[in-house]
Structure 1
């Protein structure tokens, strides 16, 4: 076998291997195999809010929208928790996720409070907005204008406020997976 034929054969073999690997990777990336397809959207992580007075305010999220539910953010699942304490007084709440919408590094999640020691909060829908900025995450919540979650009335799904609160330095680890709806 001459040198040109041998080099051509090796080049064809390498091209075939690369083409096959590229096609397999494209199939997974485009969702060709649901088992390997990424979820449609997600919000995860925990952080404490910064308050000059020293309030201990913590938010934790484990919210997900499955790839199969990409067209319906109200099929999101998971939970989120929040608490607010100052000098030993305060309350906590846990909510069951009922909607999740993300765009870029911003997420809005809502849920119905299933557990809380705040009188009147259980059964109320609340919403939270997170802006995932690495070490400088921000957060907002639907009860910002009314004072506490128990005072929220008839909040629709996936509604919250702008992320006006700053996360305490060194505590933010929010991760937002951006939603890519098919319109």
Structure 2
């Protein structure tokens, strides 16, 4: 079993036709339950419209979940967008039956100059395109010391 996980893929809703996709494969092993910074995996995002756009692949460095909300962060290891090269970014996902939602750090932080700490992201303000969200969040339960 896993202590926490975030998996799945979705496209963001954009009435202007932008193709924005997020995919997650992030995991926290049971043996690492008390240390979310031992999370492993990757996530990807891309944004294209016409001849413009780019993508990034991120190596996970932290994963926390609570209920149906997950926050994952990591360092960009592959991209064709210079602003994201080697930047730490974070994403928040809300896995909800009414339509998944998503938020990310680069909405308010410049990936080239703002240092995003691990396990940090913004509120899930974006809506996913109807029929595309298949995010699955495995809730994390921190084990509190009894003494």
Coarse TM-score class (shorter-chain normalised): over 0.9
Q: 2:25 is matched with which residue?
A: 62
Compared CA separation, residues 112 and 94, structure 1 to 2 (3 A): same
Task: Provide the secondary structure at the position in 2 that maps to 1:68.
Answer: helix
Q: CA RMSD in A?
A: 1.1
Q: 2:10 is matched with which residue?
A: 47
Residues 66-145 of structure 1 aligned to structure 2 (within 5 Å): 66-134=29-97, 136-145=99-108
- Bigger radius of gyration, 1 or 2? 1
- Per-residue deviation, 1:120: 3.2
Paired residue total: 144
Q: List gaps (5 residues or longer) in structure 2.
A: none
Runs of 4+ aligned structure 1 residues displaced above 3 Å come to none
Q: List gaps (5 residues or longer) in structure 1.
A: 1-37
Task: Provide the secondary structure at the position in 1 that maps to 2:15.
Answer: coil
Contact 1:135 1:173 in 2 (8 A): no
Q: Deviations over 1:61-107 (max 9, x none)?
A: 00000000000000000000000011121110000000000000000
TM-score computed with the length of structure 1 as normaliser: 0.76
Task: Provide the secondary structure at the position in 1 that maps to 2:2.
Answer: coil
Which structure has the highest helix share of the two? 1
